[in-house]
Structure 1
Amino acid sequence: MYCSFIYGSNNGKERVQLWDILKMQSRITKNHPLILLGDFSVTRSVEEHSCRSSAITEEMKEFSKCLNEIEVDDLGSTGFHFTWTKSLNNPNCGTLKKFDRILCNEEFITNYPQANEKLMPFLVSDYSPTVITLPNGLKRKKKSFRFMNHGANKDDFIRTVEMGWNEQISGHKMFQVVTKLKNLKRSLKNLNWDNALIEYDKAKADELIVLQQKAKIQWLTAGDNNTRFFHSVLKNRMQKNRIDSIYDEHGLRFEGDHVVGQSVNHFKCFLGDKGKCRPIDELGVIFTKVLDTAEANSTVISISNDEIKGAMFDIDNNKASGPDGYSALSFYESLECCRSIYL
């Protein structure tokens, strides 16, 4: 894993040199896990300013362009959003920005899927401490070969075993048996892979379409075969949507399995309280804009079967299916089938 600690200059022209260095470094770290963390002294978007100015500066554009070229993105974070305050000693200061961040590439997320970033409260510095955690960061040991029973159902299984068992090995009987078994490992692995590749080719197009729907990317066609791109989008979405820790109203922090319980307790208290209600004598005081009788009646007119069919068939085939897995076309077919049975 490559790791770079960043301390960006306050001068925009000097930061351009930093962007050039990162681009040069990306040629070395390409296809390897890469993580960049520290103070970049510039934000990526207007949402990272507490004042939220409507203009995107040239420095922000240069920063975003650099990150796109080296193919890194923010690691999912918990805790505080802003990492820098203009005046720590002034409690009324409202100028906050996100200067500190942790960036990583796709290879890093693949190797460390549980990695997460935590932004801690301000202590003695104007900058918020940033901590990265790598659960289960050690590499897995190489697995021993295990014969899977489904391999015996392959057409070439008997022939592969016969060829390996008929191999001439000199030495003691037990040595011959052990050696033949070891030599069969590679042959059986190749047999499983050959069959798996055939099945993979058949399912490749289907997988691409599913990834396209899940990633919600509409401007790429199935022929582009951007499987890696879709996986990258999905990983980033999962990384940013994951909640590793949560704070209650008293500032207490909950992690791991306690996150779910605390979330449930929060909504129990939030939604379980009964508020005080008072009667309203005249609704016109609240609802000042209302529909006239003709407009109101037009919203409840009956809908014809052709209108239902037209609306369903207007849904793009690339749209994700519903929670039951049905597409628009299959839903309409089921509707017509139920209607015919009923009639």
Structure 2
Amino acid sequence: MFNIYGPTKIEDKRKVWCEVTELALRLDLGKVVMAGDFNAILSVEDKRGGLRKPSKVAEDFMDFVTNCKVVDIIPKNGSFTWNNRRRDFRDIAERLDRFFVGEWWLLSHHSIYSTIEPQSGLDHYPISLNIGQDTEQHKNYFKFLSMWWQDPTLLSHIKSWWIESNVFFGSPSFKFTKRLQFIKRRLKDWNQTSFKNIFTEKARIEDELEAVNSLVMARGMTKVEFKAKKSLKNQYSEILRREELYWRDKEREHWVAEGDMNTKFSHASVKARKCANRICSIQDMNNS
């Protein structure tokens, strides 16, 4: 762990950054933690008031961060850690105090964030780094669903998300991992809006079909009912195709072969396997 106080003169800043980089490169960079008042900002977003334009100091500071292969931990409850405590247009605030961590902390199931603490009477706000075990590691694994290929816009969405995700700093492997996680979140959101819940949609279509059939039985087939029934049948065929793909993805043993029907046995086998895995996990915990 490095505790750094950055000098005010640019020549002295560069000297400190070079010394820290040389020391850091001798260590396991992935587990490095850097903290302190760096007396520099990375971008104009780290400043409010005064001259807000890119500077040579910010460029050199970014080079230092890139060379050390560390990641900036942005505070979860604020944007600035220093204020000149003046009023009106003379007020200037900057994020000079920060934490940097190596990739290992972010890729090893750790929950990590920084917090700006209540001011102690000085012009700097204290900051704290919080590291804990990431509870999200116990969530189900992400699975790419075959039914998503039914949407012809999928590839264009993935391309745009890949471009949008190019905002992370660190080594190529770290950036690649974070970009994949970014696309995974986008896919989940897109699935909710584009495909919704296939079982809810299936029930809705069945209810609407039943209502149209009731009208046909009561007053005969009119042009309105004919168009409605044709549209609903097309929707129903599409939802059945998506459901078929959904269950094929779920069944690890691939018991549903090409052309086989969706059966209650297939659905039950998926649920039974999940239940068995849960029981085995509980038994393993008891044995340990």
TM-score (norm 1): 0.42
Answer 1 or 2: which has greater helix percent.
2
Bigger radius of gyration, 1 or 2? 1
